[in-house]
Structure 1
Amino acid sequence: MTVKWNEQETIAVLKRLVETPSPSGYTMEIMKAINEQFADWNVTAKMTNKGSVIATIPGSNDEQHRLLTAHVDTLGAMVKDIKPNGRIKLSLVGGFTFNAIEGENCLVHTADGKQVSGTIVLHNTTVHVYKDAGSSERNANTMEIRLDEKAFTADAVREIGIEVGDFVSFNPRFTEAGSGYIKSRHLDDKASTALLLRLVEQLSKSGEEIPYTTHFYISNNEEIGFGGNSSIPEETIEYIAVDMGAIGDGQASDEYTVSICAKDSSGPYHYGLTRHLVGLAKDQDIDYKVDIYPYYGSDASAAIRAGYDVKHALFGPGIEASHSYERTHMDSLKATAELLYAYVKSPLAP
């Protein structure tokens, strides 16, 4: 058998994921939905104390295990301060710049379950009033949330239910742009999560056997550096992070192939496992690129830093404009799905 690729079903899963708010630290709703989805497929899954979900599909070899992980937590923010005029100052969650979210619609998630809409703006945005609107630095002191509420004092904002520490999520603006392109915030790493979910669905519904018991670890703290670095079954031999390929000047990755990472800021990935992935791509005629990401870390590297004795590797779809308004192509998603399937059906790497 080969991977059962269905473009529209993959898009539907991805759209549901990106439209469910899940900034790091506020992932309860999406993790609950994923756990329930595994239960619907009769796949054994457990939730860790940190809130991740690990699903397991038994293989013919239950002594040597594999683990595939993707993270569903995203960039976001928290309420840092409520200004006297009712505007809200932000503290960013994850590694990105204020420029990347200027003008974005957002939701403030209150402790009592409300979602209050607003827009992230520069304080002196109006060019008809502020002559330095274009040159002003975008930072925590100059950027703010303009709430869609008639609340013009700090007390009025608090009466709505908003307090310091409330989470803020960004409008993903998911768009099927035509010609196979998908544009959205949070394709990092919900694109990979969608592919893992589709693979679990195929394996569970088909009943086809895989050679090694394989864990599908949906992590929820990757953007802040410690997702997927605990609760790893001790039988795990190979650990693969399925995460975005970084695109830019000097990079080999693109939006049309699966990107296999040889090295990132944490150092080289396991040589034997990386070459195994390259060999699978060549043998299966899967379009791929090998790349190095200079300012990048993954759940696999987090697991290595935590002291786990595993072979680690990283691959995933190429994502343009990471940590901003991102884009990828269905060709890249399909190539990644094909490599995922080829890998779970393959022998262990040397």
Structure 2
Amino acid sequence: MDTMDYIIKTLETLVNIPSPSGYTREVMEFVRKEAEGFGYACEMSKKGGLVIQVKGLGGETLGLSAHVDTLGAMVRSVSGEGMLKFTMVGGYTMQSIEGSYCKIHTREGKVYTGTILSKSPSVHTFDDARTLDRTERNMEIRIDEVVKNREDVLKLGINSGDYVSFLANFEYTEKGFIKSRHLDDKASVAVLLGLLKDMSEHGLTPKRNIKLLISNYEEVGFGASWIPEDITEFIAVDMGALGDDLNGTEYAVSICAKDSSGPYDYDLTTDLINLAKENGIDYAVDVFPHYGSDVSAAMRGGHNIKGALIGQGIHASHGMERTHRDSLMNTLKLLKVYVI
């Protein structure tokens, strides 16, 4: 299978595996099997992240990361009317999930479906349907079960602390657009698996040993607070944010010079920019004021590393996201010329 076709097919699989931060065992198992299928050894970290090892020509170890955890929610309480109150996992606006279909995952392994709604969900019956503030306090989940009160819900096995995942609604269009929730950051995970596929099938040996960290708590801020100690250079592969006065597009690879955690390593970022120029890769350099990455977490964790951030441009991040096949391809190209 062509590598880009593999990346898009894999991305569709990934976004349809529920994995809000901390609830990632199933999706990690999928990624592990893919990596091992390409011949690369894997091990799990204590907090559930995956480390994939690629032997290179020697020298210092390069770290690459992408996070497989997504936005989601957790049941906070059950109302007397049998509706679920919830708390956010990750940061997003309530407007971006209102009306979305979801799944509720109980601690006993049961899965129920539902819909996320405001407490005033209909203009026909609520005076404040249009004006009610969309905050956690004013949102709830309607379960697709015959429930009339709190006790009916508890009998289903649903209770506080159960995870809620949002359905992805993946679509790949004839013009090459990928529309879906959770492109942040499963698009990058798919690109890294595409990189492993290329290296394995074409016998490509990287110039240094590589450790790929697939993290599982990035959306809540501490995905890569721990990384393997032999990593000296660390590149987060995450989304490129689009909008306002930013330069990125849905067709280019974004290279981030600074985000909310501060500037990324000057020399490493410059090297990536120059490689993109020299190899005719469509790229954009940007500053992301409301953004943090696995490299940010690693820096806060005290690691002595050089850090950089790249990724495909994602429109409407943390909402109904979209990118383009070309952006995935340009991200893959930049990774290949850097590591090979």
Kept after mapping to 2: 8 A contact 1:229/1:302: yes
Counterpart code for 1:54 = V
* 1:20-59 to 2 correspondences below 5 Å: 20-59=17-56
How has the CA–CA distance of structure 1 residues 90 and 217 changed in structure 2, closer, same or farther, with 3 Å as cutoff?
Answer: same
| C-alpha distance in 2 between matches for 1:213 and 1:253 | 30
| Pairing partner for 2:317 from 315, 318, 322 | 322
Give the Å deviation of 1:204.
2.3
Question: Partner residue of 1:306?
Answer: 301
Q: Which residue of 2 aligns with 1:13?
A: 10
Say which of 322, 329, 337 aligns to 2:332. 337
When normalised by structure 2's length, the TM-score is: 0.98
2:141 matched residue in structure 1: 145
Root-mean-square deviation (Å): 1.1
Give the structure 2 partner of residue 100 of structure 1: 96
Shift of 1:301: 1.1
Structure 2: gaps spanning 5 or more residues = none
2:241 to 239, 242, 246: 246
Matching residue within 287, 291, 313 for 2:286 = 291
CA distance in 1, matches of 2:289, 2:200: 37
How far apart are 1:40 and its partner, in Å? 2.1
C-alpha distance in structure 2 between counterparts of 1:19 and 1:235, whole Å: 34
Q: Which amino acid aligns with 1:89?
A: K
* Paired residues for 1:90-239 under 5 Å: 90-230=86-226, 232-239=227-234
Instruction: Report the 3-state secondary structure (helix = DSSP H, G, I; strand = E; otherwise coil) of the residue aligned with 1:92.
Output: strand
Structure 1 runs (4+) deviating above 4 angstroms are: none
Maintained 8 Å contact 1:5/1:334: no
Instruction: Tell me, yes or no, if the aligned pair for 2:7 and 2:193 is still in contact at 8 Å.
Output: no
Matched-pair contact (CA < 8 Å) for 2:3–2:197: no
Aligned partners of 2:88, 2:228: CA distance in 1, in Å? Answer: 33
- How far 1:5 sits from its partner (Å)? 5.8
Amino acid at match of 2:312: P
The answer for unaligned runs of 5 or more in structure 1 is 346-350
Secondary structure of the 2:219 match is: helix
How far apart, CA to CA, are the structure 2 residues paired with 1:105 and 1:70?
26
Report the residue type matching 1:311 in the other structure.
K
1:74 matched to which residue of 2? 70
Q: Provide the C-alpha distance between the structure 2 equivalents of 1:333 and 1:33, rounded to a whole number of angstroms.
A: 20
* Aligned counterparts of 2:127 and 2:229: Cα–Cα separation in 1: 61
Contact 1:82 1:154 in 2 (8 A): yes
SS in 2 for 1:178: coil
Letter in 2 for 1:331: D
CA distance in 1 between partners of 2:39 and 2:310 (Å):
27
Q: Which residue of 2 aligns with 1:348?
A: none
Structure 2 residue identity aligned to 1:294: P
1:271 lines up with 2:266 in the alignment: yes
CA distance in 2, matches of 1:112, 1:252: 47
Aligned length: 340
TM-superposition CA deviations, 1:205-263 (whole Å, max 9, x none)? 33222110011111110000000121x23332210000001111111111010000000
Q: Which amino acid aligns with 2:158?
A: I
CA contact (8 A) 1:60 1:211 kept: yes
TM-score (norm: length of structure 1): 0.95
CA distances 1:32-85 after superposition (whole Å, capped 9, x unpaired): 221222222221110000100000111111x31101000000000000010000
C-alpha distance in 1 between matches for 2:291 and 2:281: 24
Q: String of CA shifts for 1:249-284, please: whole Å, max 9, x gaps.
A: 111111010000000001100000000000110111
Identity of aligned residues (%): 47
Secondary structure at the counterpart of residue 173 of structure 2 = strand
One-letter code aligned to 1:195: V
